[in-house]
Amino acid sequence: MREGVHENTTLPYRGMQDMVDMIHRKDRQIDGLRLGKLNTSRRIRAVTAKIDINKRLLLALASGKAQNADRILHIGLKNGRSPQAILALYEEAAQKIYRPCSYTEEQIMKGLLLWRLGGVRVSSMAHRMLGLPGMTMLRAHSTIPPLIASPAFPIAGDIVRNLEALFSGPFGELLRSGGGTTNIWNVVVMFDEIAVEKRLRWDPKTNHILGMCREHGTALELNTDEDVDVLVDELHPSDQETEPRVHYASEATVGAVGILSGDKRIYSARPILISGTCKREQGPRHAELIALVVDVVISVFTRLNIRHRIVSLASDGETR
């Protein structure tokens, strides 16, 4: 009696309070089981949803709708995104809304190879079709120093920078060492014109507008929209009978230096000047351009301790 009746005792031998306590105990057990089932159901739904998202992500990756899925996964995991966020990112990439801009070194090297072999158009096609880096990134990762174009009549500073960039690498060390010989390098200064499209271009390296002729144009920096409006008005006067004071460059004068040598690493033309022309330049003015290039070449070669002599000025002929 002190410890009460046994739990399995039948009801006729139980007291009223004992039966009430038993009912409360059973209610608590039922509530605990009900809540446990509810929590288990919630966990199952959460796990099922996670498995469903992973399956959807796997099916989306297997569909191949978006290129460079490995880069999308790499970016998503690097940023700590959930599978659902990565799936949304992949769907945006498949719809061309999102384009991953994280490239591996191998992809950059492939883009540089296509650019060097096929030019800008082939590189742009590879960027759109294969997802390789665009021209902006390729130029930023290029190991070849860019050639600075002259927006107007060339100045010595532009040519000096191009020459210094040319001799800043192993090529300059090879020339300074004499290439294994003690001879003086025979240098040929070459000039030629190549046809260019008659349109304006913006040079991000110098912030200048290119595409004008050096005979009538000036070094115009792009600071405001009004600068472009003024230039366009000069190129296209409102009066059709008025001759434009500034012309589009129909050709580009390219100046290069070549070194006579049996070494294939040295024997090639290396450009140091590019300047637009409308073919209205007079002979004396063109002679000033040639003299400027020759003087700068002699000055830079001498300052860099490269033994040399200019043996020829080469051109395919000029009418002026």
Residues 119 and 61 in one domain: no
pLDDT at 257: 92
Between CA 149 and CA 276 the distance in angstroms is 9
- Which range of residues forms the domain containing residue 31? 11-94
Task: Report the run of H or E that residue 103 belongs to, with start and end.
Answer: none
Verify that 222 and 84 share a domain, yes or no. Answer: no
Residue 69 located in a structural domain: yes
**What is the pLDDT at residue 254?**
92
Percent of the chain with pLDDT strictly greater than 90: 7
Q: Going by DSSP bridges, is the β-strand pair 201-203/308-315 parallel, antiparallel, or unpaired? A: unpaired
Same domain, 30 and 71: yes
**Inter-residue contact 164 to 300 (CB < 8 Å):** yes
| Residue 1 domain-assigned (yes or no) | no
| Average pLDDT over every residue of 154-161 | 90
- pLDDT at position 317 is 63
DSSP letter at 147?
Answer: P
Q: What is the pTM of this model?
A: 0.60
- What value does the mean pLDDT of the chain take? 81
pLDDT, tens digit (0-9, with 9 covering 90-100), for 87-102: 887 888 777 777 777 7
- Give the pLDDT confidence score for residue 203 in this predicted structure: 85
pLDDT digits (tens, 9 = 90+) for 277-298: 888 888 888 889 999 999 999 9
> In this structure, are 55 and 173 located in the same domain?
no
For residues 313 and 290, is the Cβ–Cβ distance under 8 A? yes
Read off φ and ψ for residue 248, nearest 5 degrees: -70, 150
Asked if residue 260 is part of any domain, the answer here is yes
Residue 32: predicted pLDDT: 87
| Better-predicted residue by pLDDT, 79 or 157 | 157
The pLDDT of residue 179 is 53
